[in-house]
């Protein structure tokens, strides 16, 4: 399997993702348009976000911080969070368990 060969899906406005699903995890590779937002939400999945490229404003449980290339953001299960791409971004997310809605 090669990442370049995977088809990208726009799962939210401005968020283009390529997903890999294992038995217990989903690994998401995002290309995010500048200004694209993820509204506040929560899910039972643990999530770890890695900023591959760009600047991304992320709010976790009411605390907002700007993350940039190389930053890692752990998101505990059921935590309220939201985000906005301040520049064009490339992000990676790992979720456990699998995000069935991303299949």
Triad 21, 26, 31: Cα angle to 5°: 105
Phi then psi for residue 65, to 5 deg, are -145, 150
Q: How far apart are the C-alpha atoms of 54 and 71, rounded to whole Å?
A: 10
Computed over every residue of the chain, the mean pLDDT equals 97
pLDDT digits (tens, 9 = 90+) for 46-96: 999 999 999 999 999 999 999 999 999 999 999 999 999 999 999 999 999
Supply the pLDDT for residue 103.
87
Q: How far apart are the C-alpha atoms of 21 and 28, rounded to whole Å?
A: 9
- What are 66's two structure tokens? 């700007």
pLDDT digits (tens, 9 = 90+) for 13-33: 999 999 999 999 999 999 999
Structural domains of the chain, with CATH: 24-102 (2.60.120.10)
* Full-model pTM: 0.94
């Amino acid at each position: 399997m090669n990442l370049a060969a995977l088809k990208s899906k726009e799962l939210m406005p401005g968020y283009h993702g390529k997903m890999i699903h294992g038995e217990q995890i989903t690994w998401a590779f995002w290309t995010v348009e500048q200004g694209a937002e993820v509204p506040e939400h929560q899910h039972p999945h643990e999530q770890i976000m890695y900023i591959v490229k760009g600047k991304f404003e992320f709010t976790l449980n009411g605390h907002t911080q700007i993350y940039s290339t190389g930053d890692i953001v752990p998101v505990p299960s059921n935590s309220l969070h939201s985000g906005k791409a301040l520049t064009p971004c490339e992000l990676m997310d790992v979720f456990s368990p699998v995000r069935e809605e991303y299949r």
